[in-house]
Structure 1
């Protein structure tokens, strides 16, 4: 016969946890002895370890209570489902761990090598450190949210930078960051970007449109928030491109 304190130590839980399990009907309370103390047996310790193991595996307490009353066949079937769920969670945690290690190694390590190489070449094309940092953060977000489609968007942008005329527009967009939003150069740049966009894509859907995702709008929101001139530039471009 053992005390509740010793039972807690055997099972690796707190006395408070044992009392919670009593209250929820998971662990039967033993009778009190002549001194008024509850005395537990090895059977209580075994049951408590089972409950703790299921709880640590993520099984809700209400479900554990049901499993205690289940048949042996149903109990083992439930354990197989718990094991499968736990395996999926472990796989997800390992992927999170890999992303964390890539983050610790540097932001570019979170991206495919070809994207990292592209970003490292941007300063050589004349892009500002601000633009490179912003592009890096946006690609990290896009690849984290939509890894399957992000590479297509990346290839589209990388291809556009091989065209000297389009690259100049990107550079002008970068340098417009510090302009007054009502500077005539903002209006002129918006018109030229619209003309180049229509020339490249025609009347079809533009990249990033109609994906059913809020990520493209979120990304553009990050860009717009960093500069009043960029915010007005985006508004002018959208007003012209999506005018009905």
Structure 2
């Protein structure tokens, strides 16, 4: 959990800006802890990055809340309306007009094109929009910290999608998260696939290895985002622990599987 200062620094805004967004109702204000301090989770980071991106593009703050909740058609129509309005503005708004034109591309404004292509590939293999949205939010967190590093990750991530087990995993996760019914059998199948893939990566020496000098915060936020996105993630992580693995974004082999 982050302080307001850590939240602002991660998203590239000032603490004063975060407080202003609280005051106008654009960013929900979290409850305070026992010491009286606000504490923010991964969902708040994603929301703030989206708000900052739209605001930097010239979208009036009064319209951002509507756009964050809009479907794709409404979103594009709203952007076009704002763009038409900016045509009558002076030359200093031309940069904002170009950024607004980019908004029609959706994810491309926030994420590198390599990640946008990866998300499109997820749709092609049968991942649902809810699962793709979760992936997108996770990559927003990572790209905000490592804008260049994410591009280097994409070839490997795309190669993984050629594995039929990975394809099956995304389809099972889609079935789980598109349903309001808890289905322990599907959760167990997802855990089995993930554990199998982790064992293979472990044997090949490809698993993430912790480095004290490494920036751990993006990984921790992605893990937190998964749980915040759907409470069933807690059960899935329990099933993974039963199979000898801890974590989510960075699976780590337990010394001894729980008995």
Task: Give me the TM-score of the superposition, normalised by structure 2.
Answer: 0.48
Matches within 5 A, 1:1-244: 100-101=56-57, 105=103, 106-177=106-177, 178=179, 183-202=184-203, 204=205, 206-207=207-208, 209-210=210-211, 211-238=214-241, 240-241=244-245, 242-244=253-255
Cα shift at 1:229: 2.1
* Secondary structure class of the residue paired with 1:127: coil
TM-aligned CA distance change 1:162 to 1:215, over 3 Å: same
Q: Which residue of 1 aligns with 2:75?
A: none
Distance 2:209 2:137 in 1: 17
Cα deviation 1:173-202 (Å, max 9, x = unaligned)? 232224755713323431231112211342
Which one has more relative contact order, counting CA pairs under 8 Å at least 6 apart?
2
Cα deviation 1:104-152 (Å, max 9, x = unaligned)? 7233222222221221232222111111222222212211112243233
* Secondary structure class of the residue paired with 1:147: coil
- Give the paired residue count: 149
Task: Give me the TM-score of the superposition, normalised by structure 1.
Answer: 0.51
Contact 2:138–2:222 (8 Å) recurs in 1: yes
Larger radius of gyration: 1
Cα shift at 1:160: 0.8
Distance 1:99 1:156 in 2: 33
Moved more, 213-222 or 195-204: 195-204
Distance 2:183 2:124 in 1: 30
For structure 2, the residue ranges without an aligned partner over 5 or more in a row are: 1-51, 58-98, 246-252
TM-aligned CA distance change 1:113 to 1:208, over 3 Å: farther
Distance 1:135 1:116 in 2: 11
For structure 1, the residue ranges without an aligned partner over 5 or more in a row are: 1-95
By percentage of residues, which structure has more helix? 1
Moved more, 160-169 or 200-209: 200-209
What is the Cα-based RMSD across aligned positions, in Å? 3.1
Moved more, 124-133 or 107-116: 107-116
